[in-house]
């Protein structure tokens, strides 16, 4: 009978262990040692026929090297199928060369991972103009899950004012803002964003009257610099929102910025556990487990006999 287990890079091990428990799998931690010159030594737990590799790829460069080394060791030691679970998937932003000489990081990352693993599972990948994540990874399986069911369930469980308006900080956020709002039976709208630079944006709303005297909930897929979120919060407060809260899938901003968010008028900010962060309040293990249960049936592998 084919065997399945989960192994995780050290960062994110707590979330990986919760996922393994939900799936009823053993969870081994991949050992990563850094030499004085910066090179890495990687050691994996014993390989299984199918090995699920858990690696949230924020601060990605060292993690990518560790992942490549782990995959080499697992393949050499008998793993027939490698499944990468990357709740946050790096280098997806740049899907085109906007200036002469620029690398297309999405294409390079897709080709690299497609030669390393057999399946990629991620959450709310930052895809912009790429409608189907499978086109990024030639020849392998790939799924881009939505965190919105988990976010909506957490908000409903914690209780939410029915007068709340769900806000997208830009037009790109419209699909997931609409999803969360419909699940919670709330009104929603998306802002118009004009970017003047990496840390300078202007935010406006088509219907400012919708927000006056009501609480606002900002929903976004990723927050790194925090510029857009803070600009949106200030605009909402100026339009008369009684409170501004925020929930994001991927919290990539430094924890020290939480104070700056509060100064900008954000009462609370919560994130999923896609990236380990002090704002983590929403677990993704249920949606990830649902996507991975097919691996437990071993339909991808021939059965072995004893």
Provide the annotated active-site residues. Answer: 193
Q: CA-CA distance, 236 to 208, in Å (whole number)?
A: 8
- Residues 113 and 68 sit within 8 Å (Cβ to Cβ): no
Q: CA-CA distance, 272 to 180, in Å (whole number)?
A: 14
Q: CA-CA distance, 284 to 286, in Å (whole number)?
A: 6
Q: CA-CA distance, 282 to 269, in Å (whole number)?
A: 11
Q: CA-CA distance, 282 to 150, in Å (whole number)?
A: 7
DSSP annotation of 191 reads: -
Closest C-alpha among 41, 16, 42, 11 to residue 28: 16
* Tokens 């008028």 found at: 265
Strand, helix or coil at 8? strand
Q: CA-CA distance, 216 to 191, in Å (whole number)?
A: 12
């Amino acid at each position: 009978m084919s065997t399945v287990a989960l192994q995780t890079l050290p960062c994110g091990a707590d979330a990986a262990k919760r996922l393994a428990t939900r799936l009823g799998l053993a969870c081994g931690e991949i050992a990563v040692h850094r030499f004085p010159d910066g090179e890495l030594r990687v050691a994996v737990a014993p390989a299984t026929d199918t090995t699920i590799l858990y690696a949230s790829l924020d601060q990605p460069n060292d993690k990518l090297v560790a992942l490549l080394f782990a995959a080499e060791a697992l393949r050499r030691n008998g793993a027939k199928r490698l499944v990468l679970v990357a709740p946050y998937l790096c280098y997806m932003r740049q899907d085109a060369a906007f200036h002469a000489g620029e690398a297309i990081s999405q294409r390079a990352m897709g080709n690299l991972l497609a030669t390393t693993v057999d399946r990629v599972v991620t959450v709310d990948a930052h895809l912009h103009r790429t409608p189907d994540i499978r086109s990024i990874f030639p020849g392998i399986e790939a799924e881009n899950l939505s965190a919105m069911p988990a976010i909506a369930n957490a908000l409903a469980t914690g209780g939410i004012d029915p007068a709340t308006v769900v806000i997208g900080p830009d037009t790109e956020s419209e699909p997931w803002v609409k999803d969360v709002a419909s699940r919670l039976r709330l009104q929603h709208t998306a802002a118009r964003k004009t970017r003047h630079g990496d840390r300078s944006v202007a935010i406006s709303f088509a219907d400012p009257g919708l927000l006056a005297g009501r609480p606002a909930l900002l929903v976004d897929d990723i927050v790194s610099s925090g510029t857009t979120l803070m600009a949106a919060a200030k605009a909402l407060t100026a339009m008369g929102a009684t409170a501004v809260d925020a929930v994001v899938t991927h919290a990539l901003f430094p924890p020290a910025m939480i104070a700056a968010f509060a100064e900008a008028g954000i009462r609370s900010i919560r994130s999923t556990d896609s990236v380990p962060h002090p704002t983590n309040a929403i677990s993704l293990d249920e949606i990830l487990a649902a996507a991975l249960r097919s691996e437990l049936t071993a339909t991808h592998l021939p059965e072995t006999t004893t």
